Structure 1
Amino acid sequence: MAKQKKPLPELSWLEPRVKLSRALSLFNYVALLILITLWNVAFADLHGARSWVVLSVQLVPLLLLAPGIVLGNARAHAWLCFVINLYFIQGILAAIDPARALYGALETIISFALFCSALLYTRWRFQYDRKLAGEQ
């Protein structure tokens, strides 16, 4: 017995969700970049390490995906869902340290929100594109 395909949602239902999830993804992406930069430049105690080295190591994974995120590429958002887990884990670990608890909590919340919005954007964007191509 063959499994029947579930019908795709209508374009009128998908379009506002794609726009909202993309806007939330961009907002949380920029918020995470700003949080990491601000923390490492202004507040972090790096114990003599060069701040630009620490900052570049932390930002490189996010910045590699920047062109795709800015252009609205669904595959880049899907890859972002994998990469963002590193920042979620870093936020949890930072939240345990009393000196970095606020930073850790903010990083955890922003990375979780970014994961959810990027995941939803990926799902809805692929459905939207399939519906535009004429798939039922």
Structure 2
Amino acid sequence: MSRTAPVSHVVSLILYGAILALLVVTTFWPDPVEGASVWLMLTIKLVPLLILLPGLLKSRGKTYQWLCFILMIYFTDAVVRAYLTGWAWPPTVMTGLTAGLFVSAIVRIRAMQ
């Protein structure tokens, strides 16, 4: 295992946590969607990522591969929202975080081989 393996794992976990935190913050702030259950929206946003948490903590390669697939959904949503809102900071930051996590996960997968 190369020296980039532990670094990419730590970076991946930090970016993963930042994405989870940003999803929680943007669900409640600035204004929740009227007529929708905030908790249901939060569940829909977080469950696909939280399913991967045990495998990420154990640094399993297959989990990192699935993370890359799931991140494409979040990345696409963030890019569309950023464009439609005139590059507001929350979706723009989400775009950067998802891209960074994707690259970090790819480096981690590569280092594990």
* Bin for the TM-score computed over the shorter chain: over 0.9
2:65 counterpart of 1:78: yes
2:53 counterpart of 1:66: yes
In the other structure, the counterpart of 1:94 is 81
Q: In structure 2, how many angstroms separate the alpha carbons of the residues matched to 1:71 and 1:57?
A: 24
2:16 counterpart of 1:29: yes
> Quick check: which has more Rg, 1 or 2?
1
**TM-score after normalising by structure 2:** 0.93
Give the deviation of 1:44 after TM superposition.
Answer: 4.0
2:4 counterpart of 1:17: yes
Runs of 5+ consecutive residues of structure 2 not aligned to the other structure: none
Which residue type is aligned with residue 69 of structure 1?
A: L
Give the deviation of 1:97 after TM superposition.
Answer: 2.8
Which residue type is aligned with residue 79 of structure 2?
A: I
Alignment RMSD (CA, Å): 1.5
In the other structure, the counterpart of 1:134 is none
Q: How many residues align?
A: 113
Contact 1:94 1:103 (8 Å CA) reproduced: no
Which residue type is aligned with residue 19 of structure 2?
A: L
Identity percentage of aligned residues: 29
Runs of 5+ consecutive residues of structure 1 not aligned to the other structure: 1-10, 127-136
